[in-house]
A and B are shown apart, each in its own frame.
Chain A
C-alpha cells in the first residue's frame, strides 16, 4: 500500500505526454516555496494499492500510451521506493513509460532497484551552493548531486528542474555555476525553469504554518529570459514552465 496525497489523471507537466500522476505523502525537505505544503508531513494520509494504480493506468491506456505514462511525485516518492517498485515493474510489463519526480536526496539499495525500472527522472536540483540550498530547503544538496552523477553513469534519462526564486536562487553567478556543473552530462534531455509563484500560499494558512516568502514576488519576465538564455548555452532543450 502507498501513502498518498492525491491523484491527477491529466498530468501534462510531469514528464512527456499525458500522464497518470500519483502525489505521495511525505517529504524530507521543507522548501520555502513549496506550493503543496500539505504533502510535506510524513503522516498517514490516504492509502492506495499498487493494483488500483495499475488499474487506473490501464483504464487510461488510450491517453497514456504511447506518448505519456505514469509519474510518481509528491511529497518525495523515494521515501516509498520499495512500494513503488512493484507498480513500476507491472507498468513496464504493460508497456508504459515510467517517471519519477524527485529531489534526489535518497540513493539507497531500494532507490537503485527502483531506478532499474524508471525511464525518466525529473530531478529537482534546488541550488548549486550548499549553504544557500540549506536555507532554501532545510537540507544539503550533496546527495542530490551524487544522485545526478549516478543517473548519468547508469544512462538514466533526466530532466533537470530549477525553481527560480527571487533573492534565493536568482543570482546569475549561481545560475551559471549550476549549468556548468552539468556541462558534460549526456543524459539530460531537458532543463526546466520553474518561475516561483505564490498560488499555494493559502494552504499554509490552512496548516497554520508561517509562509516565509510573503514578501517575495514572482521573477520578472526579464529575469526569466536572462536565466533562460544562460540555460540555452548549456542544455539542448530548455523550457520555462
Chain B
C-alpha cells in the first residue's frame, strides 16, 4: 500500500524546509543547555541541589525543579509543535501544486497510496527528529540524575508524536479543502493552541451547543495534557489515545477519498 520511494522522496523534500531546520536548531540548543547548563545532585534518591549555569539552588529544590521542568517542557514542546504544524501545513497544498504530481499519478500508483505515503514520509521525519531528541535528552537526564529520571521523556515523546499525527491528519484534510498552505497553518495553529485547550475543558462548559461543538473537534487539547502528564508525572491515560486513533482514521479516510475524487492538473 505505502510506496517506499514516495516516503523517501517526501523526507528528502522536507528535511531542508526552513521550519524543520528551525526545529533542529531548537533541539540542538536545548541539548546544549541541558548538557552544559544544568546540574542535578541526588542523595539517597532525593534531589538535594539544582545547578543552573553556575547558580546553586538548595532550598525548596523539589518544587523549583518541578516548575523548571514544567515551564521548559511547555516552551520546548510548544515551539516544536508550532514549527512541525507549519511544516506539515505545506505538504498537501504543495503536492497539489507540484509539477511532478501528474507524471506521478500517470504511473501505476493509486492516489490513496500516494496520499498515505506522503503522510507516512513526513510523519517519519518528525518521529525521527522527536525520538532522537528525546533519547539524547533522556540520556542527559539519566546521567545527571544518577538514573532517577529519564524514562518518562521517552514515553512522552511517543505521546507527542501521537499529538502530531492527529494535528497532521487535520492539516491534510484542511490543506486538500482550501489548497492554501498559510490558511492551513493558521487553522491548525488555532485548533492546537486555542481551540484544543477549550475542548479539553469542554466538561466545564455549561452551554450545551458549544459543549457538543467542542467535543466533536479532534482531542488535540486532551492529548497535549496527556503528554504533559506522562512526561512530568508518569501518568498514562490510554483512552485518549484510542479516541485519537479513531479521529485519525476517520480524518485520513475522508482526506484520501477527497484526494481520490478530485481532478488533477
Query: A and B, one complex?
Result: no
Interface residues of A (CB under 8 A from B): none
B interface list, Cβ under 8 A from A: none
